[in-house]
Amino acid sequence: MYPTVAIRTALSAEAETLADIGYVAWDRDLRPFLAGAAASREVQRERLDRDVATHIARIIVADVDGVATGWCMRARGLSYIPYLFVTPLLQNQGIGSMLLRRMETIFELEGAGYVQLDTLADNVRAVTFYQRQGYRILALKPQGRVAGDTTMSVRLEKPLSPYRGQLDE
């Protein structure tokens, strides 16, 4: 049985919870593909805490029975999604797809003709998920910024149907 999910804006009071969801999902699903500083739990935890708190207004949340179970963030001024996380216990139940579709709708309402995101190239599960959502691989690029880091990421893009009318405030 699939849970009933509501998608809503993030609340400042739940920033720590959202960072926790991101950290647990990162640790289980992404960290195994990383090495060196990129695999540092401490560095990632600090990054998620900072990014969630700083950009809470650009985050949407999947809510199941009043509990945040996943979240998606959009970048400022770009049609780009830097984060999409679902708590591991509820993955593969459509929550990530719902968050992604809602964020795409937000971009369309802002007039965007496409959306882009990056994921680790070795994370076949994530790449396949995004391709099933209509994303196409644009480029393969180095992930790490440290000399000798051979981790690669893929840039994916999906065309959107931008809204061209006015929205009442």
pLDDT, tens digit, for every residue of 76-113? 999 999 999 999 989 998 999 999 999 999 999 999 99
Q: What is the residue-averaged pLDDT of the chain?
A: 91
Amino acid 155 reads R
- What is the per-residue pLDDT for 1? 54
The arrangement of strands across the sheet holding 152-159 comes to 80-81, 114-120, 152-159, 136-142
Mean pLDDT of 110-132: 95
Q: What's this model's pTM, rounded to 2 decimal places?
A: 0.90
- What is the per-residue pLDDT for 164? 83
Cα separation of 140 and 147, whole Å?
Answer: 17
Longest dimension (CA), the chain: 51
Mean pLDDT of 144-164: 81
- Looking at domain 5-159, what is its CATH homologous superfamily? Gcn5-related N-acetyltransferase (GNAT) (3.40.630.30)
Residue 38 confidence class, pLDDT cut points 50, 70, 90: confident
**Helix axis angle, 15-29 to 41-54, nearest 10°:** 140
The structural domains of the chain, with segments of one domain joined by +, span 5-159
